[in-house]
Structure 1
Amino acid sequence: MTRNELQQRTKRFHVDIIKLCEDFPRNAAGFETAKQLIRSAGSVGANYRATARAKSNADFIYKIEIVLEEADESHYWLEVVKEAELMRGKELDRLTDEANHLTAIFAATDKTAKWNRNKS
């Protein structure tokens, strides 16, 4: 997957999360969970985009670790949505799976970047 494709994928993840949150219950739990989920999902795409402007390998690793944390946080919030039964359905399951995939992608990217740093 190219950098551009991954940028588009992370942006699509954010947009899809926004749409998912539109159907959350209109109560304190729904609003707060949606707020947290939208922020973490948005941070995945925004911070991944920022990795393209890394000034060094160390800066890239720092930025990719933020992306990894935010992808994992998004996965956490999606699990909370399911367990709290704020929503159900195939779209929730698809986005939970996507958050898990993105976490795996960025964990592998982090590991490779650190290996390349140590190899030099």
Structure 2
Amino acid sequence: MKKNVIQDKSFQFAVRVVRCCQHLQSKNEYVLSKQFLRSGTSIGANAREASQAASKKDFIYKMNIALKEAVETQYWIELLKETGYLKEEEANNLHTNCTELCKNIVHYQ
């Protein structure tokens, strides 16, 4: 079976997002972390759904949703960093990974 780089990377990114949100929620931060969790895990879910698209148009549509979720996730990372909920190093690392996903998604289409 051929490996799908976007699916693999987006899944690993989602695992990091879940763990990060668990940490944030242990510090009683629920509102921003929930938004971050939803968008950060949605990237991979949409990419995986795209792999079963009925047509090329459907595939592009679903990958565009994945891209929009990735861009939203960048926003939440930036906000969590600026408000002090995420340390700069952690936020920068997550942001870099998310930016790589964006580039991969754009290239894959």
Q: How many residues align?
A: 106
TM-score normalised by L of structure 2: 0.88
Rounded to whole Å, the distance in 2 between the matches of 1:6 and 1:54 is 15
Give the counterpart letter for 1:9 in structure 2. K
Rounded to whole Å, the distance in 2 between the matches of 1:56 and 1:71 is 23
Counterpart secondary structure, 2:23: coil
Q: Give 5+ residue unaligned stretches, structure 1.
A: 111-120
Give the counterpart letter for 2:59 in structure 1. F
TM-superposed deviation, 1:4? 2.5
Give the counterpart letter for 2:94 in structure 1. L
What value does the CA root-mean-square deviation take over the aligned residues? Answer: 1.5
Aligned 8 A contact 1:44 1:70 in 2:
yes
Q: Which runs of 4+ in 1 moved over 6 A?
A: none
How does 1:40-55 map onto structure 2 within 5 Å?
40-55=39-54
Give the counterpart letter for 1:22 in structure 2. Q
- Identical columns (%): 32
How does 1:39-118 map onto structure 2 within 5 Å?
39-110=38-109
Aligned 8 A contact 1:41 1:70 in 2:
yes
TM-superposed deviation, 1:109? 2.8
Counterpart secondary structure, 2:30: helix
Rounded to whole Å, the distance in 1 between the matches of 2:103 and 2:84 is 25
**Cα distance change on mapping 1:94 and 1:10 into 2, 3 Å:** same
TM-superposed deviation, 1:7? 1.2
Rounded to whole Å, the distance in 2 between the matches of 1:32 and 1:85 is 14
TM-score normalised by L of structure 1: 0.80
